[in-house]
Amino acid sequence: MKQDLLTFSNWTPEAMHKLLNLAVEIKQSPSSYSNVLAGKSVVALFEKPSLRTRVSFDIGINRLGGHMVYLDSQGGKLAGREDAVDMAANLACWADAIVARVFSHSTLEQFSAASKVPVVNALCDKYHPCQALADYLTVFERFGKTQGITMAYIGDGNNVTHSLLIAGALLGCNQVVVTPEGHECDAEIVAHAKKLAEQTGATIVESYDVSAADGSDVIYADTWLSMGDETPLADIKAKFMPYQVNEALMESTGASYVMHCQPAHRDLEITGSLIDSDKSLLMQQAENRMHGQNAILTQLLSA
């Protein structure tokens, strides 16, 4: 039966570690994987803009010997011209996998039900699993492990935060999530991550106070306004400025590294000088997007 990757929510710690190890292996020995997608085609369909995801999938698929067809939303939301289910069923007639970035997680579920080939979530309103895999690959490379490392996410509780919580719980990485009031993570997703964390002993702490991040190994930032959020920046800036990830925060928390999924907004959620500092893992994360995604495709398409 075909497998999808919409979220890691129903994965086991063993499966998550295995995927992470595969990403390490593919990064270290690319020539051993240069034919795994030979003769295969992947359609990548985007309802929202992308730099990293689009390019890392395209080049990554090429490095695995496969071929990618890029489709943008063609002038509007997907359902404008035909139903999402019909679109996915058609794409599956030609493609060996569908990678999709969509507004609503339910579109991915429709794709999954209608497609006979694997569907990969390239970001939706609730999750960004490809990002989380690349990020834990980065943590693993820096610390030699994920178990027992503490990551503090500071900012808006969003799709990236949710996937970091789920994958982190499976990989034994402790999580501190600090948000302003009214910008917390989805309570059901946090509860599920806590349940998953019982298997690995990882801890999950939520707070409105940045001092909760004291003692963390890594600080993680993301945009205050996710794609599709039309809130004027001026309306949220005052609320979020105390949550800016900057040098003073790195000093007070004692964290060794700073991470950000990008696109980053210099001197808003993170200072430009911190992005450019030797504490920054941003480019390593960006590079690892490709290796993580290649592990996902290798696993799904050889299943």
Residue nearer to ligand CP on the CB measure, 57 or 240 = 57
In this structure, what token pair is assigned to residue 129?
């699993």
Cβ atoms 255, 217 nearer than 8 A: yes
Distance CA 206, CA 153 (A): 10
Q: Based on the shown chain and the rule CB under 6 A, indicate whether residue 47 belongs to the binding site for ligand NVA.
A: no
Give me the least distance between CB of 80 and ligand NVA, in Å please: 21
Q: Based on the shown chain and the rule CB under 6 A, indicate whether residue 200 belongs to the binding site for ligand CP.
A: no
Distance CA 147, CA 140 (A): 9
Q: Based on the shown chain and the rule CB under 6 A, indicate whether residue 270 belongs to the binding site for ligand CP.
A: no
Using CB under 6 A as the criterion, what x/- string covers residues 256-275 for binding ligand NVA?
-----x--------------
Strands (E), 138-217: 150-154, 174-178, 204-207
Q: Based on the shown chain and the rule CB under 6 A, indicate whether residue 226 belongs to the binding site for ligand NVA.
A: yes
Q: Based on the shown chain and the rule CB under 6 A, indicate whether residue 99 belongs to the binding site for ligand CP.
A: no
Residue nearer to ligand CP on the CB measure, 92 or 134 = 134
Distance CA 255, CA 150 (A): 9
Residue selected from 47, 135, 222, 269 as contacting ligand NVA according to rule CB under 6 A: 222
Residue nearer to ligand NVA on the CB measure, 17 or 128 = 128
Q: Which span (4-12, 47-55, 184-192, 230-238) binds ligand CP, by CB under 6 A?
A: 47-55
Distance CA 162, CA 9 (A): 10
Distance CA 143, CA 159 (A): 25
Cβ atoms 64, 37 nearer than 8 A: yes
Distance CA 164, CA 140 (A): 14
Residue selected from 158, 174, 288, 298 as contacting ligand NVA according to rule CB under 6 A: 158
Residue nearer to ligand NVA on the CB measure, 78 or 261 = 261
Adjacency order of strands within the sheet including 41-46: 67-72, 41-46, 97-101, 119-121
Residue selected from 131, 179, 200, 253 as contacting ligand CP according to rule CB under 6 A: 131
Cβ atoms 215, 177 nearer than 8 A: no
Q: Based on the shown chain and the rule CB under 6 A, indicate whether residue 53 belongs to the binding site for ligand CP.
A: yes
Distance CA 129, CA 121 (A): 7
Give me the least distance between CB of 29 and ligand CP, in Å please: 25
Residue selected from 262, 271, 288, 298 as contacting ligand CP according to rule CB under 6 A: 262
Q: Which residues are catalytic?
A: 101, 128, 131, 222, 261, 289
Give me the least distance between CB of 227 and ligand NVA, in Å please: 4
Using CB under 6 A as the criterion, what x/- string covers residues 86-125 for binding ligand NVA?
-------------------------------------x--
Kindly state the number of chain residues that form the binding site for ligand NVA, as judged by CB under 6 A. 9
Q: Based on the shown chain and the rule CB under 6 A, indicate whether residue 165 belongs to the binding site for ligand NVA.
A: no
Residue nearer to ligand CP on the CB measure, 69 or 212 = 69
Distance CA 300, CA 303 (A): 5
Strands (E), 18-144: 41-46, 67-72, 97-101, 119-121
In this structure, what token pair is assigned to residue 134?
């690349």
Residue written as tokens 């610390």? 143
By CB under 6 A, name the binding residues for ligand NVA.
123, 158-160, 222-223, 226-227, 261
